[in-house]
Each structure stands twice: as structure tokens, then as C-alpha cells.
Structure 1
């Protein structure tokens, strides 16, 4: 055991050396800088970036270069016959949904084909019958061939709630649907011979953003993997693999420690909610999707929490969860009592959450740097500061909430 710990300490030392070397060269190559950190890169922002590249009329000046290379990449060579195109973001459907990216190809003034891209690059959950409705909407455009693209960060089929497995397979078999990922976007751009240097640099930065921000393939991680794979580092590799064998237990224990720390802070600061029956708990498995940390009552599904839409604490959001269909009155009351603009700013509402927003900065994805702050209680302090404004308002309105007489399910 001591040998493994010593090897892990040597890995930490090597990571520090990599970081030191990167900082030395930063003056010349700005290796950590990416202009995308200043851009809107939520779901709509990323849709606009992709639509910009795929629109031949846009000011990138590359004409149909990106669109044609994309159509070839997805195997839609028959879509290359067009005189004009129309590219839309958030295209409304007749059922009051919106296609994230909607591309129409026209030949001889007739709509010949449609590509609809459902962008899940920010890990948004599938909505009820979402892709099914998109298919129905597209098929109303008579005489047009179509391709429905599902685009998560990492490849996985849409959920059964969005479209049945048999219907999705039917679309795939008839070449009316395709599954892409962030890695596929990188491959597409790698295979596109961009002429303008400025646009080429933009795409380089975009690919770097996809790799590092969304996929988690940071330069630091790549340096470590390459180091471990060198022949003379067999002992370090052995130690790292031993830790990987235990990583699920490590994640679970870290989550348990964090819950206990948050419970201590909650009991100290919110006695009324504590007496109401709330306590801190962890829901799900730390290494699986949709795990979360919540303050609530057992079997009464509303409270304050943090949830992650991807495994290993990735793509987190927080707020007040409350199922609109199960607790309609409470859902409305929660939205009514949170009328202070500084609290409501940037929060959204959904069927499952009365108020929610993405975690910001390094809290969006809990990597080693974030998780290492659990033993000291630093991460618990950060989370509790996010929750406090929400807990304060709920406490002030607890009597109104109690009047609804919410029952356990």
C-alpha cells in the first residue's frame, strides 16, 4: 500500500512538472487561452456556432464548403444537389417545439431535403416524445427527404421517452436518422479543407473547446496518459490502474463525506426546515447519470439540490426541484415567491424543476481539482453558498408551503 501511495505522489509531482513547463511556454503559445471562454456556449450558443458554419451565406466566406463536407461526412451525398439553402436556429414546429438547427435544401425552387439537428452538447435531458414530434413535423414537408441528427457529447441513443427504440432503429435503417457526437464534429472539421486562415483558427479553437470543455480531454490529462504509457513508468501505471479499480468506491465515499458536511451546515443554519423534516441525501450512484445531492423530505419529491446529467459528476445544475404534474400548486407557489430579480436571474423552469440553472466555472464538471476540495470542506462551503439564497426564501415562506399540505408519495 505504501508503495502505491508513493507512486501516486510521484505522479502528482510529474503533473506539477507538466504544469510548470506549460506555464513557461505560455508567453509564446497561450496554450490555455481559448476565445470560446468569452462566447455564449450554452445549448443555443453552440447551435448558433454550428448553424453559422453550415450556412453557405454566412460571413465566414467559405461558401458551401462546410455544408458540403458535413453532408458527405454523414453520408448524405444525394443532398449535395441544391441551388439554395435555408439554415434556421430554434425553428418552431406546429406542436410548439423547436428544432435546434434546421437546414433546408432547395432545387429548382422546390424543397428537396431537410436536416434537423437535436443538439445535446450541453447534456440537456430528452423531453417527452421530443424526437418523435420532430419526425412528425419534418414529414409534413411533403416531397422532401430528411435526416434527423441526435447530437450528444458522447454517443448514446436517445431515451425511450423521446422516441421508442423500434422507431429510432427504423429511422436509422431507412437512413433518415444518424447519431453523432462531439468527437464526430471534430472529425468533420478535421476533414474540411478550410481556406481562410482566420476561419481555420476559429475552427481550431472550437475543436479545442469541444475536446477540453465538453469531452474533458485536457492537455493535462493527455500528458498524464502519455507519461503512464512510457515503458519506464510501469510501477506508476500499476498504481494508477489499482486506483481505477477502486474509483467507484472512492467516488461513493467522497459523495458520502460531502453529504455529511452539507447536513452539518444545514442543521446549524436552517432549524425550521430541519424541523420540517428536511435532511441532506445523495440520490443515485456517483458514477452514473442523473446522480444528485438534495435537501428534502423522504418520499416528498421537492427540495433544493444539485443534479448531474452525465456520469462522474459532469454537467451539473442546481435549483429547486418540484414535479409540476405531481405538485402543481407548489410548483406555481415556488415560482411566485421567488420574485426577486437577483435570485431569478438566469434560472429556468421545467416540468421537473421549479427553478434551475447550470453550475458555473469549474463546478460545472467536478474533476480531480474540485473533488479534492471535499475532505477540507471547501466544496461543501461553495455548494452551501449557492443554496443559501434559495433556502432563505423557502424558510420565509414555509407557512404558505405548509398550508398546501403536501403528502408523501
Structure 2
């Protein structure tokens, strides 16, 4: 069959690619990523960007990065900093919120809300915009950049936000940011800085945008388009890949049920969502039929990307309760690496960049679902379930509302 032949050809090509990489490992280390040696979370990524955007930093490239950065929004907003400006990270405003990156001079403000993975907080952009608008008054210019691959939504910038604020909020994606870095890399003269920029490009492509190696992509496309049989087979496979993923996902859920039962965790209910390709899809654990909160893993983007996990209210009938949310968050300390709270749905949650959970879009995760008993992802999920199951004070809070 032509489908089997294509699968065999792709498998052979993939193995050949791995062998070729292995041959050049010592000379080129093609799989090496400098930034993967460090814990790169949202704050670390902000620090990298702030470092490049500060023309007085030790990268020595003067205003190369900031001038190229202006080009990302010059067609929509004409704002540029004076020759003397400051770059600050985690700038705290009076409401207690922190702006990820703030660039200021005596006439301008450029604020960047960096959202590579984490979910939005209620009215976050509205609060930042309101503060910037009040600070700028009538004699200063300001711009709030929402750096994220997801669109700005009403939850973080409500429709009742004043037009004078909304007009100064700009959405830039990490795909655009990657292109900015690629453009800058062409003009970087210092080899050490060029290495940093190139590694940052690869990191964003692979860990934020979920893009595969471009050379691999080109070769695979060439193979598929080499003849009509390959093209027909590839289209047929593509049309059924979601069914394959659903089968793997169901297998993963069944394995979770089997393993928790074998460990003596009685009375818990593990459920996987039926439409896993949609935004906010995931799976959850209910420890008691009377619980109002569940332990849940959930996608914040489409195609099973940007997974967060933690304690979430079971449905919209459970009203948010700040006091209860605080108690739940306190109990989740030690289970979550860096527990955060969402005022609406999540009393306590964590995200992949902090806990090294794999994102569902990665091939390794789907392959791990094929052998769930051996999967590190499955083991980490089981361990978190066990910790919540054994924490009686937390279990009692899940029954409150």
C-alpha cells in the first residue's frame, strides 16, 4: 500500500537523520541548545529580552536591537525612546501587579507583557494600560505590547476599557519576535552575542512556537511532494491524525486509572475530555463525588499547547471565593513548583516552563502515551495525584464552596 510505503520511507528518513546527527555530534552538536541548560521561565526570557533592548548593556551592539524592535510596530504606532532611557524588569505598579519589561525616558513609556506560556490574569492588560495612561497624562507617549501567540481577549482587556487605552495596546506574536531576532543576528558583530541571539531564536522556535527544525521540515515536504501517491497518503494520514491522538489519549487515561487503582487510591474519578484538539481541553481528577474542585491538566491554546495544571473549580456553578482560593493555594505549596492563582477559575495552578511538564504538542509526549507505563509524564502526573490524595486538609477544602 502507498500509505505503508510512505510511512516506511519517513521512518527510514527519520532514522537516517538521527544517524547523520550522531555522526556530527562531536563536531557540530546539532541537538545542543545552550539555554536548555538553564531554567528558562517567563522571567528569564524577559531578562534576555530586556538585556538586548538596553543599548547600554554589555552586548556592545549599541542601539541595534532597540532600533530593529521599533520596526515591529512603527507602521501602527510611532513611538521611539530618547537617547537616554532605562530598561526595568518586574516593575511594580500601585495595584501590586508587575510589568514584565518597562522601557522609559522623560517623554515615553514602552511596556511589554511577556506571555510565552502562562495564562492571562483578569483585567491585567486593562490595569497596565490604565496606569500607563495616568502616568503619561497628556504630555507623554505610551505603548503596551502584549507579547503572546494568543489573541488579546476580553478577560484581560474588557470591552468597557476606554478607547484611549485600547488604542495604545498592541499585540505582537513570538513569531514576529523570532523574525526580529533573525534580522538582528545578521548585523551582530560580537561572536558571543551572536551565539546568544541564535540560541534564543532556536529556543523560541522550539519551546514557545512549537516549530520543528526547518531543515527537517523542508526535506519532509520535498518527500511528500515527490509524487502523487506520497501526497495522497500524507493527506489521508493528516486527516486521521486527530483520531490517532484521541486513541493514544484514551490509552493514557486508562493507564492513569489502572495505576491509581493499583496504588490503592479508591473513590477517585479520572476523566479525559472528548474533544482534545480544542482550546481548554485536558483531563481531570475528582477525588470525591461531592467535591466542588478538581485536579486538572488543561490546554490554554489550541492543538494541546500551553498546558497548565492545578486545582480548578469543577464548573461555572461554583462561585469564586478569594478566601477559599487562598487556603487551597497554601495547601498546594510543595505540590506545585510556583503556585499562582487565577481569580476566576484556578485557586492554584502552575505552568510547563516552571515544572518541566512536556507540552502535548511535542512528539515525545504523544509517543509516551503509546507506552504510558514507561512515560515520565505519566509518572509525574501519578505523583501529583498521590500527593493531593494523601493531603487530607486539602481534600477537605475541595468540598467547600
Structure 2-normalised TM-score? 0.85
Higher relative contact order (CA 8 A, sep 6+): 2
**What is the aligned counterpart of 1:161 among 151, 155, 162?**
155
| Per-residue deviation, residues 132-172 of structure 1 (Å, max 9, x unmatched) | 111100011222111111111x3x42111111358598767
Once the two structures are superposed, residues 306-363 of structure 1 have per-residue CA deviations (whole angstroms, 9 ceiling, x without a partner) of 2222223323233333589635565455445557xxx347231313143535375572
Q: Aligned match of 2:359 in 343, 355, 364? A: 364
List per-residue Cα deviations over 1:287-321 (Å, max 9, x = no partner). 12222111115684423232222223323233333
Instruction: State the distance in 1 between where 2:203 and 2:377 align.
Output: 26
User: 222, 232, 235: which is aligned to 1:229?
Assistant: 222
Alignment CA distance shift 1:232-1:177 (3 Å) = same
Q: Distance in 2 between matches of 1:301 and 1:86?
A: 47
1:72 and 1:399 mapped to 2: Cα distance? 53
| Cα distance change on mapping 1:159 and 1:301 into 2, 3 Å | farther
The CA distance in 1 between the partners of 2:133 and 2:310, in whole Å, is 38
User: What is the aligned partner in structure 1 of residue 340 from structure 2?
Assistant: 349
The correspondence of residues 375-386 of structure 1 with structure 2, limited to 5 A, is 375-378=370-373, 382-386=376-380
Secondary structure in 1 matching 2:153? coil
Check the 8 A contact 2:368/2:377 in 1, yes or no: no
Q: Is the 8 A contact 1:36 1:205 kept in 2?
A: yes
Pairing 1:210–2:201 present: no
Q: CA offset at residue 61 of structure 1?
A: 1.3
Q: 1:291 to 1:299 in 2, by over 3 A?
A: farther
1:181 match: 173
Displacement of 1:126 after TM fit? 1.1
Contact in 2 for aligned 1:54/1:67 (Cα 8 Å) = yes
Match of 2:115 in 1: 120
Higher strand proportion, which one? 1
Return 5+ residue gaps in structure 2 as ranges: none
Does 2:59 align with 1:86? no
Q: Take 2:216 and 2:82, find their aligned partners in 1: how far apart are those partners?
A: 45
**Is 2:95 aligned against 1:100?**
no
1:393 and 1:345 map into 2 onto residues whose CA distance is 10
Q: Which digits, 9 at most, give the CA deviation of each residue in 1:191-236, with x for residues without a partner? A: 33223222122111111111122222222x6424433335534433
1: distance between equivalents of 2:398 and 2:366?
39
Whole-Å separation in 1 of the counterparts to 2:351 and 2:81: 42
Distance verdict in 2 for CA 1:197–1:208, change over 3 Å: same
Which moved further from structure 2: 44-53 or 141-150? Answer: 141-150
Partner Cα distance (1:243, 1:168) in 2: 48
> Could you tell me how far 1:395 is from its partner in structure 2?
3.6
Cα distance change on mapping 1:140 and 1:166 into 2, 3 Å: closer
Residue 277 of structure 2 is matched in structure 1 by 287
In structure 1, the gaps of 5 or more residues are 106-110
Alpha carbons 1:320, 1:356 under 8 Å: kept: no
Deviation string, structure 1 residues 234-284 (Cα, Å, up to 9, x no partner) = 433322221111222222222222112211222232444x1xxx3111136
Contact 1:227–1:233 (CA under 8 A) maintained in structure 2: no
Is the alpha carbon distance of 1:318 and 1:147 closer, same or farther for their aligned partners in structure 2, counting shifts above 3 Å?
A: same
Aligned equivalents of 1:404 and 1:224: distance in 2?
46
CA distance change for structure 1 residues 281 and 222 in 2, over 3 Å: closer, same or farther? farther
Tell whether 2:238 aligns with 1:239. no
**1-structure distance, mates of 2:127, 2:182:** 33
Alignment of 1:2-401 (within 5 A): 2-75=1-74, 78-80=78-80, 82-105=82-105, 111-121=106-116, 123-141=117-135, 142=137, 143-152=139-148, 154=149, 156-164=150-158, 174=167, 176-192=168-184, 193-219=187-213, 222-230=215-223, 231-272=225-266, 274=267, 278-283=268-273, 285-296=275-286, 300-322=291-313, 326=320, 331-337=325-331, 343-344=334-335, 346-351=337-342, 352-358=346-352, 360-361=355-356, 363-378=358-373, 382-398=376-392, 401=395
Please give the secondary structure, in 2, of the residue aligned with 1:7.
helix
| Count of matched residue pairs | 387
Structure 1 residues 201 and 17, CA gap change in structure 2 (3 angstroms): same
CA contact (8 A) 1:286 1:311 kept: no
